[in-house]
Amino acid sequence: MDMKEGKRYRNLVWDSNRWEGFEFRPGDIIISTPPKSGTTWTQMLCAMLIFDAIHFPDIMDNLSPWLDMNTRSRDEIFDLLAAQKHRRFIKTHTPLDGLPRAPEVTYVIVGRDPRDVAISMEHHFANMDFDSLIATRGAAVGNDDLGDFPPPPPPSEDPVERMRQFVESEAAITTFDSVVGHLRDGWDARDQPNVALFHYRDYQHDLPEELRRLASVLGIDLDEKRAAVFADAAGLSSMRERAEELGPDMGRSHWLDTKRFFRSGGRGEWADRFTDVLAKRYGERLEEYAAGDQDFVDWIHEGRRSGGVDLPR
């Protein structure tokens, strides 16, 4: 397959160089999202379509591993994927420009309003057991490089300041630049035949319809009745009850409360953190990526339906 060398994305948690040497199969699905943007949700949708079921033969972390995460060795992940007989669907937080590209692979890009991502990530970090994460990382890949990732300062007690740090990309790991840059990269590739864009807001708006759209992208038949059954199984409350089965890294004690991973996050919780000054600055930063493309702005905030944005597929 024709592949290109991509840009490297690396932090304490993941390293896109782990894709080096990976052998794709025709039909592979790569789920590429910024963190807290519907990754696990999309894995669930893909699993139901691939297995034509709401219950699966293994935990999601094994069925759809996060290839570039540093809590399992690359050899372990490669061996796991090589042994799979089903159609493979692989998780990554690496943008398209950091991934090997193959024409017979489908790249599913999922977006979410960056401001909602910022709020969700705060709750995500508050639920993490970092000591456990570092210990697992050390056992998997070693921690000799920890000096490359100095610990961030403690989060500010002022929520407005925390949002400002996100907007200015002063936050750790997940920043405005990492989220919007990821989505712009996907947006620019939306006309490519093996790239498809989805959005958290569209899942919330009409999950059965988005399931049918995803099925169409993947070449899988799905009627309306089956889509409704799958959508019910993929609801937040249903997935929360199956957190140990569906959540990432659940077997490695990285969460203080496994069910809190599936937080009932609302939309627009960021509103009371945006002063007039910060809202203006957010708009300026967004324009750095939008460059006048209002459709891109509408899509990252509202998705294709709510924003009235037409996508190729």
pLDDT band at residue 5 using 50, 70 and 90 as cut-offs = low
Express each pLDDT in 217-227 by its tens digit.
999 999 999 99
Pairing outcome for strands 29-32 and 195-199: unpaired
Q: In this predicted structure, what is the pLDDT of residue 243?
A: 84
Q: How many Å separate Cα 270 from the centre of its chain?
A: 20
Q: How many Å separate Cα 261 from the centre of its chain?
A: 14
pLDDT at residue 239 is higher than 60: yes
Residues forming the active site: 93
pLDDT band at residue 250 using 50, 70 and 90 as cut-offs = low
| Overall average pLDDT of the 88-108 stretch | 97
Residue 134, beta-bridge partner list: none
Q: In this predicted structure, what is the pLDDT of residue 2?
A: 43
Using a pLDDT cut of 90, give the percent of the chain over it: 74
pLDDT at residue 21 is higher than 80: yes
Judged by average pLDDT, the poorest of 74-88, 142-156, 280-294 is 142-156
Q: In this predicted structure, what is the pLDDT of residue 139?
A: 92
Nearest-10 crossing angle of helices 276-290, 159-167: 20
Using a pLDDT cut of 70, give the percent of the chain over it: 92
**SS3 of 242, please?**
coil
pLDDT at residue 241 is higher than 90: no
Distance CA(57)–CA(64), nearest Å, equals 12
Judged by average pLDDT, the poorest of 69-73, 96-100, 212-216, 233-237 is 233-237
Express each pLDDT in 262-303 by its tens digit.
555 566 788 888 999 999 999 999 999 999 999 999 999 999
φ, ψ of residue 226 to 5 degrees: the values are -70, -35
Distance CA(131)–CA(129), nearest Å, equals 6
DSSP state of 235: S
